[in-house]
Amino acid sequence: MNAEIVAVGTELLLGQIANTNAQWISKRLASLGIPVYRHTVIGDNLERVVDAFTAAQYRSDLIIVTGGLGPTEDDMTRDAARSVLGQDLVEDAESMEKIQQFYTNNQKVMTENNRKQSLVLTGAKVLQNDEGMAPGQIVEKEGKVWVFLPGVPSEMKMLVQERVIPYFRETYTLKSEIASEMMRFIGIGESALEDELSDLISQQTNPTIAPLAGEGEVALRLTATGESDHEARTKIGSLKEI
């Protein structure tokens, strides 16, 4: 199972925020042994979101989408998903009740556009959102797994930790864990380090070794897979001793 992460939101393309959601989700997927092959950021434009979703479903087994689930007109994710997956949107009763309850509790009048936040794709597993209004959704279609999550980080994180990961562990056989560790070197260039370790680098497949240049230092990234996080870390430990 390989994954990609699609973030929807013009604020990312204007540089107002960095896509830290993709970073956070990638770490979680790595710890589940699911390799991430791509991150995409796309703006609040229906045609471009549809294009991004269409390309993603050809490439990847698991597509995680963040953002674009709010109540306003520029929130495109639901409409794009309906179009690409060919499934209707229906109101999720539990989500709608929670939205109405929020307005009642806060003595505010609910505006009509809030109904939109309770819409989910037909047949979706609805992931109730404890931190906000729009629920997450998991949709399995034609061998592909889609996960739709709000873009607000606290809501996204709650849903991944409390809903998505437990569901994945129940539903799929997640064989290997990926562990990754950095070893940092100061006073040696990236190329000299690779040169010294070239035999080791080319012979190793698990863990793999990648030299990386940073600000004023060089690092080796050791990445191992194993049946458990412990097994993967043990492999890294053995290599570090060499």
Torsion sign over Cα 212, 214, 216, 221: negative
Pick the binder of a copy of itself from 61, 79, 162, 194 (CB under 8 A): 194
Backbone angles phi, psi at 9, to 5 degrees: 165, 120
**Three-state SS at 87:** coil
Q: What x-and-dash track marks residues 103-142 binding a copy of itself by CB under 8 A?
A: -----xxxxxxx--x--------------x----------
66 near a copy of itself, rule: CB under 8 A: no
Binding segment for a copy of itself (CB under 8 A), chosen from 136-144, 167-175, 192-200, 230-238, is: 192-200
Residue pair 63/144 in contact by the 8 Å Cβ criterion: yes
Q: What x-and-dash track marks residues 67-86 binding a copy of itself by CB under 8 A?
A: ---xxxxx------------
Residues 6+ apart with CB under 8 A from 155: 129, 131, 132, 134, 149
Q: What x-and-dash track marks residues 152-191 binding a copy of itself by CB under 8 A?
A: xxx-----------------------x-x-x------xxx
213 near a copy of itself, rule: CB under 8 A: yes
- Residue 181 pairs in a beta bridge with 222
